[in-house]
Amino acid sequence: MKRFFAAILVLLVVLVGGSKIAVMIGASSFLSQVKTELVSVGALNFQSVSTSLQDSEVVISKPTFKHFLLKKDFSAEQARLKFEGPVDMMLGLLSALGSDYSDLDQLILDDFETDLPDQLMYEQLSENLSLSIDQWFSFLSCSGESSPTKTSLAKAGIENLKAQVMVHLGLPESTIEFDTLGFGRVIIDTDLLAHLSGSGEGRLRSISYIDNGYFKRLAQTCYHESEDSGSLSQSIVDGWSENLAMRGYRVSSSALSVIKTFIEQGGILRFSVGDAVPAPRDGSYGWQEAAFIARVEVQSNDGEPVALELEQYFAPPIQETVSKPEQTVEPAYIEVDMSSETELNPLDQLLGKQVRVRLFKEQEYEGSVKLIDEHQIEMIPLKGDGKVSYTFKLLEIERLEVWTE
């Protein structure tokens, strides 16, 4: 019924003012609505707008968008809104835009351009991920240990992100395709149209990255021509694996092997959002399936997809040990058991030691042992000059003590 009244409205506008005026009015309404809906996200501006009933499209010249949260500017030479036909175009612009975007078939951005991702953008995109975007995509650098820097990308001929963007709107899925210059193709499946129509959540379904020779260009910045090109892929895989391990994560050796082949030959890296549902932890420790919002698959040009199963290491809690206070021994004389022959074997056990001797005559002497055998002990008095010594037979000694510290 709504479309019936919309068709009547279109007919009246065409009869009164002509189709060109009708379409221009609809295009202006459309752009006003889009700017209003995006006002909380960013600011949309453009230079001019034109329409073509013959091509069933609206052309927006030099659109720019300033994203408030990411603090980034996005621009294009032109944006083309394509409809399936002139009637759908007129109906869509004049009526359906008040409720949904179902009449819009494609959105094409010619010469889309933005700055390369910076750390702020990595952090914003990584809020709900186990690993940050920076860590996931560190294999795009020479070492595999950190994300590519603007300097290293500039050496590979990539100074900013340029792309031809094509958005295919449909139900239940819409596709956003970035044909990026230098990096490769990125294809995003989402329920964008359902979201714009008010019946979807606007969530991602999958993200696919298709290499188009990026690593071959990267190799020119990492190695000299005389070096083995295969060493680049091995270096990246080793560095990436170590980078994950330092943060308590790992992927299977088979997946690392496919990543290596992917770097050497090209292929597809796919994130299927929402397909990964890790088993809840049961309180055990060690390597466990990591909580991640996507199932990740990598496929080389001549191979089958292999899952990049991410595991996280959960260390057991550290048991606090109650340390016993060290028992300190105060310096003192300790009695030597004269009845045990082992106390004086070997004979030099007490040589040079400070001892105290108590005779049966109740006389005591202190000194250092100069000589001792199974019959007698010779000692030098502590307060002497070292020239005088005393000799006692062991049979005369009632008590023998050695000084301990």
Give the confidence band of 347 by pLDDT, cuts at 50, 70, 90: low
Is residue 112 located within the same domain as residue 220? yes
Query: Is 319 inside a domain boundary?
Result: no
Is residue 205 located within the same domain as residue 349? no
Query: Is 324 inside a domain boundary?
Result: no
- Give the residue numbers spanning the domain of 378: 332-404
**Residue ending a domain, choose from 257, 288, 314:** 314
Is residue 187 located within the same domain as residue 62? yes
Is residue 254 located within the same domain as residue 294? yes
For 197-220, the pLDDT digits (tens) are 555 555 677 888 888 777 777 777
**Which is more confidently placed, 341 or 170?**
170
Q: Is residue 26 over pLDDT 70?
A: no
Is residue 75 located within the same domain as residue 214? yes
Q: Are 74 and 83 in contact (CB under 8 A)?
A: no
Query: Is 348 inside a domain boundary?
Result: yes
Q: Is residue 356 over pLDDT 80?
A: yes
Based on the structure, what is the number of domains in the chain? 2
What average pLDDT does the segment 175-197 reach?
74
Q: What is the pLDDT of residue 225?
A: 47
What average pLDDT does the segment 382-389 reach?
73
Helices (H) and strands (E) in the chain, counts: 10, 23
% of residues, the chain, pLDDT over 90: 0
Write the CATH number for 340.
2.30.30.100
CA distance readout (Å), 302 to 35, 89, 261, 266, 369? 46, 43, 9, 9, 86
Is residue 285 located within the same domain as residue 201? yes
**Which is more confidently placed, 244 or 156?**
244
**Which is more confidently placed, 390 or 148?**
390
Position of tokens 């199963």?
309
Is residue 119 located within the same domain as residue 197? yes
Give the confidence band of 342 by pLDDT, cuts at 50, 70, 90: very low
Q: What is the pLDDT of residue 62?
A: 92
Q: What is the pLDDT of residue 137?
A: 65
First to last CA, the chain: 104
Q: What is the pLDDT of residue 17?
A: 43
For 276-327, the pLDDT digits (tens) are 555 556 677 888 877 666 678 888 887 888 887 778 888 777 777 666 666 6
Query: Is 376 inside a domain boundary?
Result: yes
Beta strand ranges found along 118-276 (DSSP E): 161-168, 174-180, 184-190, 204-211, 249-250, 267-273
Query: Is 250 inside a domain boundary?
Result: yes
Phi, psi of 214 (to 5 degrees): -60, -45
Average pLDDT, the chain: 73
Q: Are 43 and 57 in contact (CB under 8 A)?
A: no
For 86-127, the pLDDT digits (tens) are 777 777 676 544 455 666 778 888 888 887 666 555 555 555
Q: Is residue 133 over pLDDT 50?
A: yes
Query: Is 207 inside a domain boundary?
Result: yes
